[in-house]
Every structure is written in C-alpha cells, then in structure tokens.
Amino acid sequence: MVDAQADSWIPDICKTTGGAKPAKKSGKKKGQGKKGHGNAKHKSTTAGPKTGDDLSDDVDQLASDLATRAVLTGEEDIPEYRVPVSQLFPDHQYPVGQECDYRDDNLWRTTSEEKRALERDQNVDYNNARRAAEVHRRVRQYARKVIQPGMTTTEIVNVIENGTRRLVEASGIEAGIGFPTGVSLNNCAAHYTPNAGDKTVLQYDDVLKVDIGVQVKGRIIDSAFTLTFNPRYDPLVEAVREATNAGIREAGIDVRLNDVGAAVEEVMTSYELELDGKTYQVKPIRNLYGHSIDPYIIHAGKSVPIVANGDQTKMEEGEYFAIETFGSTGKGYVVPEGVCSHYARNPEVDPKRIPLRVPRAKSLLSTIEKNFGTLPFCRRYLDRLGEDKYLLGLRNLVDSGILNEYPPLNDIPGCFTAQFEHTILLRPTCKEVMTRGDDY
C-alpha cells in the first residue's frame, strides 16, 4: 500500500552493479498490431456466466476460468491454497527471505557475534513477519494462475482475500489481511479496491496492479506486482520490476533515502516502450513513495522516494521498509480521483477527545477499533461484518480527523502505470528481502 505526497529461485540482485545504465528497451515487437490501445473500457453491466468464448477459445484459459470458479465456491482442490501455512511448517519456523550482505562500511556486520545475538533476541518477531510473507507468496502464486480477463475486480479480490484468511488463519487483529487488496487498473496507480456493487471487469488490454497485505501480530507484509495479458506492455513491467530491484540493492543501514530514489530513477528512466507508433519513456511517479512499516502501522514515519529528492534521512538498523516503485507512460504524477474505498484510523488522534455529531459514527468507530485497530480497511470489510447505513457516520469520522481516507490515485487518462513492491528488513547482520519469491 503506497505512501502518497528468491535458494535457486532468488535472483542475484544484491550484488553491487556498475554505473552503466541498461540499454534503452523498446516495446515494439515484429508484426505487432495496434489492437486495444487507448483507454481500456470496462463493462459496467453485471458479468454473466463465463464460457470459453467469453475468455478465449483456448482450452487453457477455459480451464483457468473453471479453476477460478472453484476458488470462488470453495471447491478448489489445491493443498497449498487450502492448508494454513502453520500446518505446512509444524515447527512454526518459516522460510527466511533473501539475505543480502551489507556493503562497504557495514560489511563487518555479517560476521559480528554481537549483531547475531541481537537477531536471536528478535527471532519471534522475525518469524511472525516470515509467516505472513509465506502466506503472501502462496496466495499470489495462486492468484497469478487464476486471474484472467473476464473476471470482475470483486471476484479477483475475493480469490486473494479468502485465500489470505484461510492460509494465515485469520483471527481479528492478531492475524489476517494487512490492508485492502489493491487491484488498480491502467492510469490508476494505487488505492483502488471495489466497493459493493462495482461491476468493473478485467479486460485483455488492461494493466493490473495487485497489491496484497498480510499481517501476523501486527507485522505487516506489503508486496505488489503487475499483471498484463498483452505483451506490448512488457517493457513497462520490466522497467518497474528492475527499478524496484535497484532500490532494494541500494537500501541498507545508514543509506540516505535520496540515494534509494536516485537508484530507482536511473534504472526506470532508461526504459522505453512503443504503443501505436509512439515511443514513451517510462517515468517514475514522483509523488508516490515507499515507506517504513511499524507494528500495525502500514505508513510509519519515513517515506522512500522513487526519484532523487534530496532527502538526507537515513535508514536504520531494525527497520522494516516497503520498497515500492511505480512507472507511468503519462505525466509521472498522480492526483486523488474517484470513489474512496480505503480508510485507516489516524494513530495520532485520540478519538475520546473528538466530539462526534453523528450518532452512527460512535458505533461504527467501535466496530473499526475492535476489528482493525490502526490497520487499513475498506467498505467491503464493513459490509462483511454486517454494518449497514454507515456512510454518513464514516464521513463524520473522516471529517473529524479520526479516520484518514485514501482515494484512488490516478495519472492522466489513457496512460498506463505499473507497480512492483517488496518488504525488506534491515537486520543487524544483513538485509532480508522478506517477500522474495520465484515469481519476482
């Protein structure tokens, strides 16, 4: 969730690279036509039953659609998606993420006995985060298999969130979803999840950002990826994925936030793609940031830029960060636009000191504090808890400052945006990319 203002599967991204920029990448492919360029329009009518003709005549896509239907009805027969991860790891020691040695003046940390002792003291906390990360890997692996054009965004988030609840053994604020699943499309870069009644249907020419959060005992794992079905967007996706990896390489104890942003910007702006005969440089969305993460607080005190911005604040030992980058074919700048779905309680405001003029707001606040605390939530989650007729109370809580709202963030219409994100932990001895997987 963005701040606005992988053993053999692990790629070798932790090595220091030289200063040479990668060659410009072009999206033009031989024989590629102009099918589907421009604003991808979404059906606003209720999606009917899917058939092979709805998605494709291809048998594999039909099979995938049937698998999706099985998930939505609870009939899937895939053990990795049915069994809680605690049962897959009986000793409750969860996989360690990608470990990267620190560089230069911090290389000594790798072999420091004192720093190793500090890590042993934090093992329970680390293990909670690793459990959440393992859930994230398994949920997204399945989601990537079943998400297809023709599904509604509501179906997509249900697949992801039902799987998350099952695998993490959701239990109130002890463990569960870390924040509403983002399924932002095309020029919308972040903070879109469907509200009740939203009939948006995923199209073949859409660029879909999937942002998933999982938490265990307040340790929030935040990681995102981009899905496309038309290969003409491949250079955009590659640019953002590699820019995120560059930010991860640069991040570390005592590293200045500006330096992370500069590394991201250098890689991302070296890519181009061609759409309908026009060449676009991939631009970082300069007013979107990664962020530090504290227990139960998704956006903690530090913002990680994705362009050089002069911020001399340093990363510190023990901090968790979401390193996330966004690339765009538009202006590289987003504005809030559209119906809001994301909310979170403002941890800096004491609700007891705020008079509420709408009686419904008081009972709604009680529900929010009991079920979410300071974790982000969305309207669908309130619906799921049986809340109704709450919009006026919700608005009162926002206007009073008790809740923050996070509306969709959009670049200019007609452009396309992509996102990749990992959660990292700056351990005393090394940097751990907690969400690294064999997919990204």
Burial of 120 (0-12, 13-18, 19+ CB in 10 A): exposed
> Is the domain of 285 the same as that of 375?
no
Longest dimension (CA), the chain: 65
Q: Is 291 annotated as a binding residue?
A: yes
Residue 6 pLDDT > 70: no
DSSP at 231:
G
> Is the domain of 319 the same as that of 376?
no
Task: Give phi and psi for 400, each to the nearest 5.
Answer: -80, -10
Calculate helix-pair angle for 113-121, 123-146, nearest 10 degrees: 70
d(CA 310, CA 386): 47
* Catalytic residue, candidates 291, 387, 422, 432: 291
d(CA 29, CA 153): 29
Q: Interior CA angle at 292 toward 291 and 297, to 5°?
A: 105
> Is the domain of 367 the same as that of 268?
no
Known catalytic residue at 211: yes
Residue 438 domain flag: no
Tell me, what's the pLDDT at 1? 84
* Catalytic residue, candidates 65, 76, 299, 432: 299
CB count in 10 Å sphere of residue 271 = 26
Report the chain's mean pLDDT, rounded to a whole number: 88
Give the closest residue to 76 by CA, choosing from 133, 132, 143: 143
| From 43-47, 80-84, 185-189, 226-230, the region with the lowest mean pLDDT | 43-47
> Is the domain of 305 the same as that of 357?
no
- Once rounded to an integer, what is the mean pLDDT over residues 152-177? 97
Structure tokens at 66: 């049937």
Residue 183 pLDDT > 60: yes
Known catalytic residue at 174: no
Distances (CA, A) of 177 to 164, 166, 189, 390, 409: 7, 10, 21, 22, 22
What would the pLDDT profile of 331-341 be if each residue is shown by its tens digit? 999 999 999 99
Residue 62 domain flag: no
Q: Is 155 annotated as a binding residue?
A: no
* Catalytic residue, candidates 324, 387, 411, 432: 324
Q: Is 211 annotated as a binding residue?
A: yes
Q: Is 319 annotated as a binding residue?
A: no
Q: Is 422 annotated as a binding residue?
A: no
Q: Is 42 annotated as a binding residue?
A: no
Confidence of residue 2 (pLDDT cuts 50, 70, 90): confident
- Once rounded to an integer, what is the mean pLDDT over residues 390-404? 98
Tell me, what's the pLDDT at 25? 46
Q: Do residues 399 and 369 lie in contact, with contact meaning Cβ atoms separated by under 8 Å?
A: no
> Is the domain of 322 the same as that of 275?
yes
Task: Give phi and psi for 169, each to the nearest 5.
Answer: 55, 65
Residue 378 domain flag: yes
- Once rounded to an integer, what is the mean pLDDT over residues 128-153? 97
Known catalytic residue at 421: yes
Residue 32 domain flag: no
d(CA 286, CA 253): 24
> Is the domain of 296 the same as that of 422?
yes
* Catalytic residue, candidates 65, 134, 205, 211: 211
What would the pLDDT profile of 276-291 be if each residue is shown by its tens digit? 999 999 999 999 999 9
Domain range spanning residue 373? 342-406
Residue 280 belongs to a domain with what CATH number? 3.90.230.10
Residue 62 pLDDT > 70: no
